[in-house]
Structure 1
Amino acid sequence: MPFTLATWNINSVRLRAGLVERLLRDEGPDVLCLQECKSPVEKMPDFSALGYPYRIARGQKGYNGVAILSRLPIEDAGEMDFAALGHARHVAGRLENGVTIHNFYVPAGGDVPDRAVNEKFGQKLDYLTGMRDWFHGDRPGKSILVGDLNIAPREDDVWNHKQLLKIVSHTPIEVDHLAQAQEAGGWVDITRADIPDGPLYSWWSYRAKDWSAADKGRRLDHVWATGDIAAAGHSSRILRDARGWEQPSDHAPVFATFDL
């Protein structure tokens, strides 16, 4: 049976519960993975009335937080605390068909791409190294990885490659760390497998007066799958319109369907 999955950095699930409801009603993904929920689990909104009775989440007050909402039965498959940050940045769930879904919120990394003067940038690199080492040691299979990975890896994943080479999220060292994690797990970038050519963005800064006209975007949000099921992924898309909803997140949801 095919199922559709979406990933979205919601930037406060309590503040934007109405937007989540709109997405669930209008788009109806079978599974929705949220990042930057900014809430303890017990205070996260309940979306079961919309047909999503299953939720797996890790939260903390005011920061980070990840959640998996599902209308398909799903069991908690744990979490990892890479770089020992003590942050709610990863949670996993396992569907009845045996597919494990990993939901990640990789650290943003601050403003200066130099770990010597910016602790947050070092934490980001260490987090990615932790992901790489985990995948090396316990190579995943029949798995999907989604989330805000806070890196736009390709030249056409940013509005201006040359200008962003020294900007956190597109620096060569970050792209290399992400590539090592991807290679270690045998992950396939489903979005780019489906849409291989041309600019593709999922994030636009709040600082732009007219984000759509300026279109200075970056593809920070990703859907990956292990090689054994990657061929089952299709129908990838980014719901750009959601960035223009009232009081929006600065991220747009990313979708993919899997025939599994």
Structure 2
Amino acid sequence: MPLLRVATWNINSLRLRIGLLDRLVEALRPDVICLQETKVPDELFPAEALRPLEFPHTVFRGMKGYNGVAILSRVPLAVHEIAPDWCGKGDCRHIAATLRTPRGPLELHNFYVPAGGDVPDRAENPKYGHKLDFIAETRLWFAARTGLARSILVGDLNIAPLENDVWSHRQLLDVVSHTPAEVAGLTAWMQAGFIDAVRHFVPADQKLYSWWSYRNRDWRQSDRGRRLDHIWVTPDLKPALKSQAILKDARDWPQGSDHVPVCVEMRV
């Protein structure tokens, strides 16, 4: 049965870090790469510069300086245009595609959830309110899609939901990305139709991170990370899951992102 490797990475500027995609491809050998924070408007998307990577099927949605998502694929795909404009902002935080696989189509969603600012108070910090509204909208939309199957959701969801998805559950309870309101919202979204494909392989009592702050110079020694980057699959794909990888060494790449790539392999 054919295998499919799907990788997700918040690249934190595609044009700045495009040269690092070679390393990602060499390390993970993905069939599909989902990128977030591409920070490039569609008319300037570097399609020619990406051509040597040999991902002939590409879809993207971007804007100048902020946000932006893209999917690079060796598997034929088509843009999936059924999702709404989340929170009515038109801010390029989601792109979906249908992948053509031997056993039938796979629906793939690539998200970049709002970071939410620094203050976990909706009244004081509108960015936090936007984040909570965003994940509430996505939960309701997916919950309404009864019978959702053969679907994958990936991306920088900007929330570390489990106690061991952060370096200190107690100290980060009032830090945006691990507050109870965010965790409840993300958990409800996942339960609207998905399972956590990475935690399928790594028990919840084990520490697991995909992001380390730029502010921490000796990030590996202190290891104060958070798991902000996720891959979910619909329950029908659970038996197809084969392996997962978090490319921690990518945090040391020259001019690297503060996020590292996450990858899941499955039989399709």
**How far is 1:179 from its partner?**
1.0
For the residues of structure 1 that align with 2:151 and 2:238, how far apart are their CA atoms?
9
- Comparing 10-19 and 43-52, the one that deviates more: 43-52
TM-score (norm. length: structure 2): 0.94
Structure 1 counterpart of 2:166: 158
Structure 1 counterpart of 2:62: 59
**How far is 1:41 from its partner?**
2.0
Structure 2 counterpart of 1:73: 76
- Which amino acid is the alignment partner of residue 39 of structure 1? V
Contact 1:12 1:37 in 2 (8 A): yes
Structure 1 counterpart of 2:212: 204
Structure 1 counterpart of 2:196: 189
Q: Identify if the C-alpha distance between structure 1 residues 16 and 80 changes in structure 2 by more than 3 Å, giving closer, same or farther.
A: farther
Pick aligned residue for 1:104 from 89, 96, 111: 111
Contact 2:8 2:229 in 1 (8 A): yes
Structure 2 counterpart of 1:135: 142
For the residues of structure 1 that align with 2:249 and 2:23, how far apart are their CA atoms?
12
Structure 1 counterpart of 2:256: 248
Q: Which runs of 5+ in 1 are unaligned?
A: none
For the residues of structure 1 that align with 2:119 and 2:38, how far apart are their CA atoms?
25
Structure 2 counterpart of 1:122: 129
For the residues of structure 2 that align with 1:151 and 1:25, how far apart are their CA atoms?
28
2:178 aligned with 1:174: no
Contact 1:132 1:181 in 2 (8 A): yes
Q: Which runs of 5+ in 2 are unaligned?
A: none
- Comparing 168-177 and 189-198, the one that deviates more: 189-198
- Comparing 84-93 and 150-159, the one that deviates more: 84-93
For the residues of structure 2 that align with 1:161 and 1:121, how far apart are their CA atoms?
19
Structure 2 counterpart of 1:95: 99
**How far is 1:24 from its partner?**
2.0
CA-atom RMSD in angstroms? 1.1
**CA deviation digits over 1:186-216, x for unaligned, max 9?**
2000000111141000000000011111110
Stretches of 4+ moved more than 4 A in 1?
Answer: none
For the residues of structure 2 that align with 1:82 and 1:161, how far apart are their CA atoms?
29
Q: Helix, strand or coil for the counterpart of 1:180?
A: helix
For the residues of structure 1 that align with 2:118 and 2:75, how far apart are their CA atoms?
39
Structure 1 counterpart of 2:241: 233
Contact 1:80 1:91 in 2 (8 A): no
2:267 aligned with 1:259: yes
Structure 1 counterpart of 2:6: 5
**CA deviation digits over 1:126-158, x for unaligned, max 9?**
000110110121232210000000000000000
Contact 1:80 1:90 in 2 (8 A): no
Contact 1:38 1:59 in 2 (8 A): yes
For the residues of structure 2 that align with 1:101 and 1:259, how far apart are their CA atoms?
15
2:222 aligned with 1:214: yes
| Count of residue pairs the alignment pairs up | 259
Structure 1 counterpart of 2:19: 18
Q: Helix, strand or coil for the counterpart of 2:4?
A: strand
For the residues of structure 1 that align with 2:231 and 2:155, how far apart are their CA atoms?
7
Q: Helix, strand or coil for the counterpart of 1:124?
A: helix
- Which amino acid is the alignment partner of residue 113 of structure 2? V
